[in-house]
Amino acid sequence: MKKTTTRLADGRELIYYDSRDDVVRDAVDRRPLEPVATESELRADRLLGDTVAVASHRQGRTYHPPADECPLCPSREGRLSEIPDGDYEVVVFENRFPSLTGDAGRCEVVCFTPDHDASFADLSPASARLVLDAWTDRTRELGQLPGVEQVFPFENRGEEIGVTLGHPHGQIYAYPFTTPRTALMLRSLAEHRERTGGRNLFDDVLADERADGSRIVVTGEHWTAFVPYAAHWPYEVHLYPNRRVPDLLGLDEDARAEFPLVYLDLLRRFDRIFGEDQPRTPYISGWHQAPFNAPDRRDFALHLELFTIRRTSGKLKFLAGSESGMGAFINDVPPESAALRLREVAGK
């Protein structure tokens, strides 16, 4: 993998990731941009003990531009974009409208492909592997920034999810705190260790799912994908490496090589859940990694969570009173039924 770092016209960092060492990236951002002036504020919720980011500048972010004005497509004569080059493989750059800034963290955009009409599921295994390598590199680099506690690479796909740019892309958030979801997992991890005389919760969850088998979707030599026993979302899959590691940096070459095959298989199954008349299922996919300064970070298990808010053909799962108001989820689809459906829609 070749990595080329440059700066956009307003000073933001941009990084090209290429599979070939002989690629030259010397295009210059010729847009007349003013230096970025954004500011976000972190506020502690004294009742819940969590943190809220206030970022009013995001009200002005780009919203559903036409395809010929997409800011994530390569630049061409007469239409300059966020990517100065006329082509690329994978690109990462600082978000122009970040939720987290300065001491409050950092937000980056990851463009998976120059093809505006594609999706992650359309990538070749080699291209998906390059994205994995970019996620890993950014986890390493962002983890070295002062104050960064946790790195979260994720993808939102589909207008139903709230995506405002149709080009296939994801984001990376570098938080200056441990997120509430991770804090709950760390608490459960510690309680399980105490209750069982030292057993690891993640290891036991994975072993139990593999032994039961009813919620398994895909198994590989190095990865296992399953619908969790208490899934929150109608179709939700967790993907674990079979050898526990705390973050993307811990994956060995065998796991890295197999990941694209398993992950692309999962995404393509998601696109078949609701039939040919509703392809490209809206989803959120994200990597859960151990906080860098957690005392028991080596006991944490890297895993990816993939879920859709679509509960059946033409119907969405809205977070109503119980979910939004109290954080108590009600799932419309039994996890075993979801797993069965995902097994049924395996590619030919």
Q: Any idea which residues carry the catalytic annotation?
A: 169
**Is 238 marked as binding a ligand?**
no
Q: 229-248 burial string, b = 16+ CB within 10 Å, else e? A: eebebbbbbbbbbeebbbbb
DSSP run (H or E) holding 13:
strand 13-18
- Residue 110 · residue 131 · CB < 8 Å: yes
- Residue 5 · residue 89 · CB < 8 Å: no
Instruction: Give the DSSP per-residue string, 38-61.
Output: ---EEEE-TTT--EEEE-GGGGGS
Q: How far is CA 237 from CA 159, 170, 247, 323, 330, in A?
A: 21, 18, 18, 19, 17
- The partner residues of 223 in beta bridges, in order of sequence, read 241
**Is 111 marked as binding a ligand?**
no
**Is 116 marked as binding a ligand?**
yes
Residue 104 has which token pair?
Answer: 């409050």
All residues at 6 or more sequence positions from 10 whose CB lies less than 8 Å from its CB, including other chains: 33, 34, 35, 36, 96
CA-CA distance, 227 to 241, in Å (whole number)? 15
Give the residue ranges of the annotated binding site for Zn(2+).
70, 73, 116, 167
Give the residue ranges of the annotated binding site.
70, 73, 116, 167
